[in-house]
Amino acid sequence: MDLYLDSADLDEIRAARDLGALDGVTTNPSIIAKAGADFHERMAAICELCEGPVSAEVTATEHDAMLEEAEPLVEIGEQIVIKLPCTTDGIRACNSLSSRGVRTNLTLCFQPLQALMAAKAGAFLISPFIGRLDDIGQDGMDLIQQIRTVYDNYGYETQVLAASIRHPMHLVQCALIGADVATVPFKVIEGMMKHPLTDQGLEKFLADWKKRG
């Protein structure tokens, strides 16, 4: 399972890269706004740090405007993947861009039929949001399983990118189900290597080493 960092923080991206855990980067308008950076300049800087796919989201909601907004983003670098919403216009834009060889990431997916339509339109990635479903009393992992089954049934090549991941157990479940990608904040990547028994074991080993005679 590939790991993407859900961030526009260049220090976090460098840190994930140095861990060997950076397969790609996802961003959205909220993340970029919090970074306080020029959108296109920040996307270019991210592409310099990340060799894998870098999702850049459009803010337009209509097909023609989405395509217009995508044009300068595609020019930033070959890593750029245009992030579009799972709406009728987003699917149309996906079809238009995919037919030209531009990779797309269909985001804000909350049900398997949206994922089916995205795959039929040629999406490179589909981004089901696990945590937001959990927030309203549904099991977000059910959606990952449903999409995985649909794609495997019919041989769709669209990759399942698990998004809105809140904690390491979500990652474990995604890996067991067979999600192609998970995108996470840096704190989740840090948490992947933490376990109290690891810390206790290391402390004991070091203490025993100091006692050697």
Q: Which residues are catalytic?
A: 83
Residue by residue, DSSP assigns 2-16 as EEEEE---HHHHHHH
Residues 6 or more apart whose CB falls under 8 angstroms from that of 110 comprise 86, 128, 129, 132, 133, 143
Burial of 136 (0-12, 13-18, 19+ CB in 10 A): exposed
Cross-strand bridge partners of residue 149: none
Rg (CA), the chain: 19
Q: Which two tokens stand for residue 145?
A: 């399983």
Other C-beta atoms closer than 10 Å to the C-beta of 69 total 17
- Are the C-beta atoms of residues 161 and 4 closer than 8 Å to each other? yes
**Amino acid present at 161:** L
- Are the C-beta atoms of residues 186 and 9 closer than 8 Å to each other? yes
